[in-house]
């Protein structure tokens, strides 16, 4: 069982349920005690461990033989857990339980086509995107670009499945695969960058903390799970404003906004908005504050909550990052 039922389900404290697995256990080791310090009970329930009973008088939720009556549910499901998790989240919502990063928000943010469409309609994308199944349309689009293209899987995280198309051979290999195997594609132009991107953590659409993520030597995928380095990125007004607008476009009350620095134009662009971001301690402390308030009154929290600290200055304290990542820190 991947649930984490290390709190009282029937105390007089508000109960927050994280619906998810142990993929971000390190985050939970920081976040859950911080929430309890703020007077909130919190558990993690794996979607497979949730039992739901439906009768003409209502719906009951159970885990490990105990009735579950949460005051707030946090959606933290991805990959193979996304669809079953979305079903549970929507039932919680229909049963009157407040849900943060609900089923629709998670579905949109974890599909790059939908994610980019929200950013495009809000005017914060910063570059063109092409998605579809037609190889001829992709061929024309790539040839019209003034430079390489990047092909990404529609669904996935951690830098997996990225592919750079730098010349005719790369393009023909891709087109041959598409014509043979079918399937969809998601293509963006290559953005000239300084070998890094920026991850901004937003809570209630408000930027709290940011870090640079560097590609490993000899590679171009800037992602910690891909073995890259990191350092703090001071939250400038420009970065913060773009992250806020991107989070609002995607609807993520808990978000990780990936921003690129286009060295060719000097502008910032938004790569994507993540709805289940692995967080660092400053973001987790802010999240604990927000969730403690939201568990008591979500509508009030949405209107009134603001972070007590925003990391706008350069701070080299290694404690700003999880212990597992301090070996990746760059000066």
DSSP 288-321: HHHHHHHTT-HHHHHHH---S----S----GGGS
- Residue closest to 205 by CA, chosen among 85, 301, 320, 95: 301
Question: Is residue 226's pLDDT more than 70?
Answer: no
The reported pLDDT for the residue numbered 194 is: 93
What does the pLDDT average to over 252-273? 96
Q: What is the mean pLDDT of the chain?
A: 94
The reported pLDDT for the residue numbered 202 is: 98
What does the pLDDT average to over 289-307? 98
What does the pLDDT average to over 54-73? 96
What does the pLDDT average to over 211-233? 82
Question: Is residue 14's pLDDT more than 60?
Answer: yes
Domains delineated in the chain: 15-107 (3.40.50.20), 128-189 (3.30.1490.20), 196-328 (3.30.470.20)
Instruction: Give the single-character DSSP code of 161.
Output: T
Question: Is residue 225's pLDDT more than 80?
Answer: no
């Amino acid at each position: 069982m991947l649930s984490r039922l290390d709190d009282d389900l029937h105390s007089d404290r508000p109960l927050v349920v994280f619906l998810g697995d142990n993929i971000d256990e390190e985050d939970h080791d920081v976040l859950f005690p911080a929430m309890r310090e703020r007077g909130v009970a919190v558990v993690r329930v794996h979607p497979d461990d949730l039992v739901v009973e439906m009768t003409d008088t209502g719906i009951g939720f159970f885990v490990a033989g105990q009735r579950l009556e949460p005051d707030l549910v946090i959606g933290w499901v991805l990959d193979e857990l996304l669809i079953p998790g979305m079903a549970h989240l929507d039932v919680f919502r229909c049963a009157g339980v407040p849900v943060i990063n609900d089923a629709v928000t998670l579905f949109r943010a974890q599909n790059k086509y939908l994610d980019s469409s929200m950013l495009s309609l809000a005017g914060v994308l910063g570059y063109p995107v092409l998605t579809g199944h037609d190889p001829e349309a992709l061929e024309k689009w790539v040839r019209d670009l003034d430079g390489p293209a990047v092909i990404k899987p529609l669904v996935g995280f951690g830098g997996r499945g990225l592919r750079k198309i730098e010349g005719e051979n790369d393009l023909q290999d891709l087109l041959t695969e598409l014509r043979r195997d079918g399937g969809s594609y998601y293509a963006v132009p290559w953005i000239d960058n300084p070998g890094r991107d920026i991850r901004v953590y937003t809570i209630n659409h408000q930027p709290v903390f940011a870090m640079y993520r560097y590609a490993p030597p000899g590679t171009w995928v800037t992602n910690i799970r891909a073995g890259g380095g990191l350092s703090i990125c001071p939250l400038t007004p420009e970065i913060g404003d773009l992250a806020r607008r991107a989070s609002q476009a995607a609807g993520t009350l808990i978000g990780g906004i990936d921003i690129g620095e286009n060295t060719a134009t000097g502008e910032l662009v938004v790569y994507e908005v993540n709805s289940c971001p692995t967080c660092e301690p400053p973001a987790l402390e802010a999240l604990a504050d927000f969730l403690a308030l939201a568990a008591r009154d979500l509508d009030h929290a949405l209107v009134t909550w603001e972070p007590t600290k925003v990391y706008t200055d350069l701070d080299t304290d290694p404690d700003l990052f999880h212990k597992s990542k301090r070996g990746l820190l760059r000066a």
